[in-house]
């Protein structure tokens, strides 16, 4: 089963409020996103957002532009239907984050529990290259992966686990680690999962600095 099939099957066969990663209110993500908004961010893309409730709350922040990207169209469809009329304000992008070339430019890149599924250097490099193209210099990336001592699988798939320093190494020199925290998520079945949350600032690449001078 390929990646798209895996996730489409999941969203068409499972109650999305019973999946392991479900959160009624994504508290830590929202706090970090609000901090970025307070620092001037005006747009957000939730990468691998699926049917997450995050977008419901982000729409209340009054941003200029909000997008949710996911490889599973049905995951996005669940969120779109839940939001009704409010969903018209969201750009719904069906794409694999490791394959899409361009999703536009945003101030905040949010990823909870997606990067950790990328188990090859090549896929991680393509992900980071897209994040570099997408996040405006001075913008933010808020990322949550399973922590170094977190679960070894998610949704039956193998994952790579990270402490903040290793995630920063993966994100490369164009993203500066601002701060991080550990977070224990409790699944709907009551299982505890250790996550690591980090916020990065997108640095201006040399060529843009040269162009601006």
Ligand X SMILES: C[S@@+](CC[C@H](N)C(=O)[O-])C[C@H]1O[C@@H](n2cnc3c(N)ncnc32)[C@H](O)[C@@H]1O
* 150: contact with ligand X by CB under 6 A: no
Q: Is 166 in the site for ligand X (CB under 6 A)?
A: no
Under the binding rule (CB under 6 A), the answer on residue 112 touching ligand X is yes
**Buried (b) or exposed (e) across 177-200, using 16+ Cβ within 10 A?**
bbebeebebeeeeeeebebbbbbb
16 belongs to the binding site for ligand X (CB under 6 A): no
Closer to ligand X by Cβ: residue 25 or 89: 25
Which of 35, 25, 85, 32 lies closest to 55 in space, CA to CA? 25
> Which helix (H) or strand (E) segment is 126 a member of?
helix 121-134
Selected binder of ligand X within 35, 77, 96, 166 (CB under 6 A): 96
Phi-psi region of 190 (alpha: psi -120 to 50; beta: other; left: phi over 0): left
| Residue 81 vs 209, nearer CB to ligand X | 81
We find the least distance from the C-beta atom of residue 85 to ligand X, in angstroms, to be 22
Judged by the rule CB under 6 A, the positions of this chain that interact with ligand X are 3, 7, 21, 48-50, 52, 70-72, 75, 96-98, 112-114, 117, 154-155
């Amino acid at each position: 089963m390929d990646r798209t099939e895996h996730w489409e099957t999941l969203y068409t066969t499972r109650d999305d409020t019973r999946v392991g990663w479900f959160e009624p209110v994504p508290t830590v993500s929202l706090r970090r996103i609000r901090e970025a908004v307070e620092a001037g961010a005006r747009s957000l893309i939730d990468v691998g957002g699926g049917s997450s409730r995050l977008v419901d709350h982000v729409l209340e922040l009054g941003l200029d532009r909000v997008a949710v990207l996911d490889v599973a169209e049905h995951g996005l469809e669940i969120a779109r239907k839940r939001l009704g009329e409010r969903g018209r304000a969201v750009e719904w992008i069906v794409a694999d984050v490791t394959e899409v070339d361009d999703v536009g430019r945003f101030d905040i890149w949010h990823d909870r529990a997606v990067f950790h599924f990328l188990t090859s250097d090549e896929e991680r490099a393509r992900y980071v290259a897209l994040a570099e193209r997408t996040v405006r210099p001075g913008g933010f990336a808020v990322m949550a992966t399973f922590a170094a001592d977190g679960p070894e699988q998610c949704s039956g798939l193998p994952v790579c686990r990270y402490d903040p320093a290793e995630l920063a190494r993966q994100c490369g020199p164009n993203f500066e680690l601002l701060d991080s925290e550990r977070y224990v998520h409790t699944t709907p079945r009551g299982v505890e999962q250790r996550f690591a949350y980090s916020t990065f600032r997108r640095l201006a690449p040399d060529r843009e600095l040269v162009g601006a001078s």
